[in-house]
Amino acid sequence: MCGIVGYIGFQKASPILLAGLSKLEYRGYDSAGMATIEGANIKIVKDKGRVENLYHLDETKKLEGSIGIAHTRWATHGIPSKINSHPHADNSNSFCVVHNGIIENYLELRAFLEEKGYHFVSDTDTEVVPNLIHYYYEKDLQDDDLRVLRAVKQVCNQLIGSFSFEILSTHIPDHMIVVRKDSPLVIGKGEGENYIASDIPAILSYTKDFYLLENFEYVVLSKDHIEFYDQDLNKIQKHTTTITWDAMAADKLGFDDYMLKEIMEQPTSIRETIGSRLDTNTCNFSELDFSKDYLSSLHQIYIVACGTAMHAGLAIKNTIENLCKIHTEVDIASEFRYRNPLIDDKTLCIFISQSGETADTLAALKLCKKCHARTLAVTNVIGSSIAREADYVIYTHAGPEIAVASTKAYTSQITLMTLLAVYFAEILGTADAQELEAIKKELLNLSTKIENILKDTSSILTIAKDLFKEKDVFYLGRGVDYTTAQEASLKLKEISYIHSESYAAGELKHGTIALIEKGIHVIGIMTDPSLVKKTVSNMEEIITRGAITTVVVSETTLKQINTSLFDHILVVPDTAICLSPIITIIPLQLLSYYVSKEKGLDVDKPRNLAKSVTVE
Ligand code: AGP
């Protein structure tokens, strides 16, 4: 959560900081602030609310410095308010900090500092940091160039939790110090100027050369130099990674919202995901040295993730089991990490994460490594924490996803995981060759089929105009369609604030049907020809009780139903059943989008949410 930007160079810092914050608002948007250093003074401007507020403040116009730090906040400790906004300074106003993460032992540290005479003005966990730096700085009797850095290191050694910090100090007015632990931070290298950000898109328009920081690597930046230190403050060398994302990819490009742009981008993002991994005959995952012996030795695969990424895991579970004949479990990372899961070196653990920074998924990954399982990350963000922590990584290459509601990352995750399942099955020889050929062929057809869905969205908009007035919506499905129901329901609730539930259609009679009454809107997903009749029966039971119904069917299942039963019908192209979640979710993503627009909500920045959940 929270976004960080920093600049050190020859230009005025504040416009660069503001532009970066605007790009990072998806990480948190309840308050924002920045600070620059000018001679012997640190100037701070901050306020509650959106980044836009900062543009209008008189103090912003007065920020002249060319070294600055900035922050957009998703509140954890202390309500959104000016006083709780970042940056935070120490009592002497000689150290100033922005922080992403959570300091779990801040109360203890605060009590320690209060005893030493320090006072606090905010309710945040962060405010202990500049004061503790001041404390250690004053205790250090060696007055050399590294004195501030040593103080920062002493503080970081004492902190429990996660953090990325940008630190300014009047004692080193031409420098900035940054450090991270379990919270993202990258450095963009320029000419006579350098950039810092929690996320690459914030500074992608200035540079393509990035240093990716490991935990407890300290960086001292000036406009011309970047010096790296390990956790014992020995100097180290680091190499840049070139990021090939187009800076334009992180812009709205004329769309009203990032979410709409990202939905519309799915034909392209899926093509990018497949890339060169699939040629006419073979799947290619050359970066994985998974031998037949290793794959045959596996007792189980665990897929661990959160939210939409977890739904991608659910969508792929049956495909792996059917094609590879390996028992596959899918678990929510926040549950998995605390339940002593039965995993060992005969388990392959796969972690799906768009951002590659989700705290629970990262913790689950570390747990699996301790249990000697092989770990594989499936992520969209190159060099992210999960990518670096896992034994192996495969990238979705969906391009930057900015909207809080995940769309193109989800379809790319299922696409990539299907390719992986086919690849494993080919090595293992566990699947029928014709079936594998059919799946590969359909993978290559996905983009065109999605393009066709996106050509005419008028019927989806019509349903949205009914649906936006609802208080409760139910999604039903069986098999793969149940997975789609779960993802569609999450999409609706997160951006429209309408209460919605998803159910395996067969479960309805075991309790939920008690909630069905006249006028309630139920969305039935029925793309599996072998299960459509069963789901139709469940839908008839709710129609009898007065529900309004929308169904999503495939070209084939359309022919299997009595269309006059339903109020609205959305038809999606046929595909291999294991790929159906990729196709079927498209109209349902759009439906959620249109409902949110009808309600006049901020689609890209839904209340209480942030794009990347880097705290527990
Ligand atoms: C999806 O729309 C969500 N906002 C959320 O559930 C997300 O998928 C989840 O937080 C996991 O994020 P990750 O993929 O970056 O790990």
What pLDDT digit, counting tens, does each position of 346-403 carry? 999 999 999 999 999 999 999 999 999 999 999 999 888 899 999 999 999 999 898 9
- C-beta of 333 in contact with ligand 1 (< 6 A): no
- C-beta of 6 in contact with ligand 1 (< 6 A): no
pLDDT per residue over 101-137, tens digit each?
889 999 999 999 999 999 999 999 999 999 999 999 9
Give the integer Cα–Cα distance in Å for 106 and 161: 9
Mutate to test the pocket of ligand 1, among 258, 308, 386 (most ligand atoms within 8 A of CB): 308
| pLDDT at position 201 | 82
Residue 607, token pair as written in the block: 């209340």
| pLDDT at position 26 | 67
- C-beta of 613 in contact with ligand 1 (< 6 A): yes
| pLDDT at position 580 | 98
Three-state SS annotation for 97-150: EEEEEEECCHHHHHHHHHHCCCCCCCCCCCCHHHHHHHHHHHHCCCCCCCHHHH
| pLDDT confidence tier of residue 172, bands split at 50, 70 and 90 | very high
Identity of the amino acid at 433: A
Contact at 8 Å (CB) between 323 and 424?
Answer: yes
Percent of the chain residues topping a pLDDT of 70 = 98
pLDDT per residue over 248-300, tens digit each?
667 788 899 999 999 999 999 999 999 989 876 788 898 898 999 999 999 99
| pLDDT at position 280 | 67
pLDDT per residue over 174-212, tens digit each?
999 999 998 889 999 999 999 999 988 889 889 999 999
| Spacing, Cα 597 to ligand 1 middle (Å) | 21
Of 279-293, 562-576, 601-615, the poorest mean pLDDT is in 601-615
What is each CA distance from 170 to 5, 58, 175, 536, in whole angstroms? 19, 23, 9, 70
| Spacing, Cα 348 to ligand 1 middle (Å) | 22
| pLDDT confidence tier of residue 600, bands split at 50, 70 and 90 | very high
Decide if 611 is catalytic: yes
- C-beta of 396 in contact with ligand 1 (< 6 A): no
Q: Measuring CA to CA, which residue among 38, 31, 30 is closest to residue 12? A: 38
Identify the residue whose C-alpha is closest to ligand 1 atom 16: 353
| Spacing, Cα 216 to ligand 1 middle (Å) | 26
Give the distance, in angstroms, between the CA of residue 370 and the centroid of all CA atoms in the same chain.
Answer: 25
| Spacing, Cα 611 to ligand 1 middle (Å) | 7
If you average pLDDT over every residue of the chain, what do you get? 93
| pLDDT confidence tier of residue 240, bands split at 50, 70 and 90 | very high
Place of tokens 């995940």: 406
- Helices 128-139 and 106-115: crossing angle in degrees, nearest 10, is 50
Contact at 8 Å (CB) between 283 and 332?
Answer: no
Tell me the torsion sign for CA atoms 139, 142, 143, 146.
negative
Tell whether the model's pLDDT for residue 612 goes beyond 80. Answer: no
- C-beta of 389 in contact with ligand 1 (< 6 A): no
| pLDDT at position 387 | 93
Mean pLDDT in residue range 554-566: 97
| pLDDT at position 2 | 78
Residue 267: is the preceding peptide bond cis (ω within 30°)? no
| pLDDT at position 145 | 86
- C-beta of 21 in contact with ligand 1 (< 6 A): no
Mean pLDDT in residue range 503-512: 90
Mutate to test the pocket of ligand 1, among 198, 306, 605 (most ligand atoms within 8 A of CB): 306
| Spacing, Cα 150 to ligand 1 middle (Å) | 37
Tell whether the model's pLDDT for residue 452 goes beyond 70. Answer: yes
- C-beta of 51 in contact with ligand 1 (< 6 A): no
pLDDT per residue over 10-59, tens digit each?
999 999 999 999 887 766 678 899 999 998 899 999 988 778 888 888 88
| Spacing, Cα 430 to ligand 1 middle (Å) | 32
Mutate to test the pocket of ligand 1, among 310, 354, 416 (most ligand atoms within 8 A of CB): 354
Classify 332 as helix, strand or coil. Answer: strand
Three-state SS annotation for 15-28: HHHHHHHHHHHHHC
Residues whose CB falls within 8 Å of the CB of residue 58, separated by 6 or more in sequence, listed in order: none
| Spacing, Cα 118 to ligand 1 middle (Å) | 39
Place of tokens 């269309």: 563
Cβ atoms within 10 Å, residue 256? 12
Mean pLDDT in residue range 595-602: 96
Q: Using the atom order of ligand 1, give the atom closest to the CA of residue 409.
A: 14
Q: Using the atom order of ligand 1, give the atom closest to the CA of residue 609.
A: 4
| Spacing, Cα 474 to ligand 1 middle (Å) | 21
Please state whether beta strands 499-504 and 472-477 pair in parallel, antiparallel, or not at all (unpaired).
parallel
Give the integer Cα–Cα distance in Å for 581 and 555: 15
Mean pLDDT in residue range 536-565: 95
- C-beta of 84 in contact with ligand 1 (< 6 A): no
| pLDDT confidence tier of residue 519, bands split at 50, 70 and 90 | very high
Candidate list 23, 449, 597, 611, residue with the active-site label: 611
- C-beta of 549 in contact with ligand 1 (< 6 A): no
Tell whether the model's pLDDT for residue 438 goes beyond 90. Answer: yes
Give the integer Cα–Cα distance in Å for 69 and 95: 12
| Spacing, Cα 306 to ligand 1 middle (Å) | 6
Mutate to test the pocket of ligand 1, among 389, 406, 493, 496 (most ligand atoms within 8 A of CB): 406
- C-beta of 347 in contact with ligand 1 (< 6 A): no
Give the integer Cα–Cα distance in Å for 94 and 7: 19
Complete DSSP assignment for 4-50: EEEEESSS-HHHHHHHHHHHHGGG--SEEEEEEEETTEEEEEEEES-
Decide if 48 is catalytic: no
Mean pLDDT in residue range 488-502: 96
Identify the residue whose C-alpha is closest to ligand 1 atom 8: 308
Q: Using the atom order of ligand 1, give the atom closest to the CA of residue 305.
A: 16
